[in-house]
């Protein structure tokens, strides 16, 4: 009996000590297993977790804000008038060898046959063309002999007169960019890729904006993705609208939309940049002809400007003849005239195409496109 009492006491002590250890601070008592409830959406009652999620307020997160693109500062280009005079020094530098050679020949004490022949050769190497060079030399020689002058200043003045006469001081070089009532003037710019055609469109927009005009640019050269991007850059700098579409789009549809938007926006001038691919004359004729016909359903095309690289010589003239056969060119833009001592290309281009040079590019700067002025041009190449 006493043994039983002792054993019972030991068991009781063990139970008390074990419970104390099990329930000491930092240790949780185990919960009885919970019967799994019905899954969500299964038609049964929701668990406490489900109810808490259902009643919790929904926090709406604001969409991340995108950083605003930096504002493009609108520039105010200089007016077109007097640009060639301001750029005369740059032109004179590039034509310096040509002018010095001419004046050096005419300053000789004796102007014999060899001197006149050398003068003619110099004019030919300046891309003036053999026929024109011969005519200038013969006319100048006759005037010098008739007047009997040997004064270098007088001979130089006579040479200037002959060159200006060949360039054509009486030609109409004005650009038809004035709006017509409720419609803008439309200018199509054509030429082979690589001549600076798209850049010329942007620079022409700057000339017009500098003269107080409003301009819209149409990126109808859809075969070259960079062309539309270039135009947008040029347009954004002077606040001009730009109409463009995806690469490969029908150029005529872009030109049509550009003119339509120009009419709706009441701008003064729409400038349409066209594709410059020269695969075959037939393909070029179809493409440019279609662009012009589609545009003329809304507005007359006032100017078709052909862009030529002044450094290409006879190759450029062959390209010019093809374009002249395709569209009715009204004027020529000579680019890269600053990089060559061959200013005679002006005369040759005008004789070949029967249209005046209206604009010249004299550098890579944004305002290096200038209206062509024959007397200022001749003064520059003669170093006056």
Give per-residue pLDDT as tens, 348-377. 889 888 999 999 988 888 988 989 989 888
- Of the two residues 58 and 23, the one the predictor is more confident about is 58
| pTM score | 0.77
Q: How far apart are CA 126 and CA 123, in angstroms?
A: 5
Give per-residue pLDDT as tens, 252-301. 999 999 999 999 999 999 999 998 876 567 777 788 889 999 999 999 99
Residue 186: beta bridge partners? 270
Q: 216 lies in a domain?
A: yes
Q: Residue 287 is part of a domain; what is its CATH number?
A: 3.40.50.300
**Which letter, b or e, does each residue of 181-204 get, where b requires 16 or more Cβ atoms within 10 Å of its Cβ?**
eebbbbbbbbbbeebbbbbbbbbb
Q: 209 lies in a domain?
A: yes
pLDDT category of residue 35 using cuts at 50, 70 and 90: very low
Average of per-residue pLDDT values in the chain:
80
Residue 377: beta bridge partners? none
Residue 361, classed as helix, strand or coil, is strand
Which residue in this structure is represented by tokens 């006056």?
384
pLDDT higher than threshold 70 for residue 28: no
CA distance to 121, 161, 297, 305, 334, per residue, from 329 (Å)? 31, 28, 19, 6, 14
Give the range of the structural domain holding residue 262, as residue numbers without chain letter.
Answer: 185-329
Lowest-confidence segment of 36-50, 72-86, 206-220, 320-334 by average pLDDT: 36-50
Pairing of strands 215-219, 241-243: parallel
Q: 14 lies in a domain?
A: no
Q: 111 lies in a domain?
A: no
Give per-residue pLDDT as tens, 140-177. 999 999 988 888 888 889 999 999 999 998 899 999 99
Q: 50 lies in a domain?
A: no
Residue range 85-110: average pLDDT? 73
Residue 103, classed as helix, strand or coil, is helix
Lowest-confidence segment of 50-54, 100-104, 266-270, 351-355 by average pLDDT: 50-54
pLDDT of the residue at 198: 93
Most confident of 117-131, 239-253, 333-347: 239-253
Q: 89 lies in a domain?
A: no
- Of the two residues 15 and 331, the one the predictor is more confident about is 331
Q: 315 lies in a domain?
A: yes
Give per-residue pLDDT as tens, 296-341. 999 999 999 999 988 877 777 888 888 888 889 999 999 988 766 5
Q: How many domains does the chain have?
A: 1
pLDDT category of residue 21 using cuts at 50, 70 and 90: very low
Q: 242 lies in a domain?
A: yes
Q: How far apart are CA 336 and CA 91, in angstroms?
A: 10
pLDDT higher than threshold 80 for residue 220: yes
């Amino acid at each position: 009996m006493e043994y039983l009492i002792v054993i019972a006491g030991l068991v009781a002590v063990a139970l008390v000590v074990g419970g104390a250890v099990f329930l000491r601070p930092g240790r949780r008592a185990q919960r009885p297993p919970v019967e799994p409830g019905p899954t969500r959406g299964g038609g049964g009652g929701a668990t406490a977790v489900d109810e808490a999620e259902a009643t919790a307020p929904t926090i709406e997160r604001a969409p991340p804000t995108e950083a605003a693109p930096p504002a493009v500062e609108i520039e105010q280009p200089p007016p077109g008038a007097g640009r060639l005079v301001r750029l005369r020094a740059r032109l004179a530098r590039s034509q310096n060898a040509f002018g010095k050679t001419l004046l050096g020949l005419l300053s000789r004490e004796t102007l014999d046959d060899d001197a006149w022949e050398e003068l003619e050769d110099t004019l030919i190497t300046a891309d003036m063309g053999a026929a024109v060079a011969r005519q200038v030399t013969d006319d100048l020689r006759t005037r010098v002999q008739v007047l009997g002058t040997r004064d270098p200043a007088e001979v130089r003045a006579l040479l200037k007169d002959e060159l200006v006469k060949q360039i054509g001081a009486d030609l109409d070089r004005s650009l038809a960019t004035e709006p017509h009532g409720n419609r803008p003037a439309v200018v199509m710019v054509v030429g082979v890729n690589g001549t600076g055609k798209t850049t010329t469109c942007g620079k022409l927009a700057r000339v017009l904006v500098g003269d107080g005009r409003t301009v819209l640019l149409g990126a109808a050269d859809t075969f070259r993705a960079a062309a539309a991007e270039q135009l947008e850059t040029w347009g954004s700098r002077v606040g001009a609208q730009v109409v463009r579409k995806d690469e490969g789009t029908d150029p005529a549809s872009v030109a049509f939309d550009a003119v339509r938007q120009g009419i709706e926006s009441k701008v003064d001038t729409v400038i349409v940049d066209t594709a410059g691919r020269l695969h075959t004359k037939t393909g070029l004729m179809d493409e440019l002809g279609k662009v012009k016909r589609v545009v003329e359903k809304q507005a007359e095309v006032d100017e078709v400007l052909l862009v030529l690289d002044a450094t290409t010589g006879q190759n450029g003239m062959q390209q010019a003849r093809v374009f002249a056969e395709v569209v009715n060119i009204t004027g020529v833009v000579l680019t890269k005239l600053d990089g060559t001592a061959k200013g005679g290309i002006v005369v040759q281009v005008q004789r070949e195409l029967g249209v005046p040079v209206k604009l010249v590019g004299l550098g890579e700067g944004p305002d290096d496109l200038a209206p062509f002025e024959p007397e200022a041009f001749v003064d520059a190449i003669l170093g006056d």
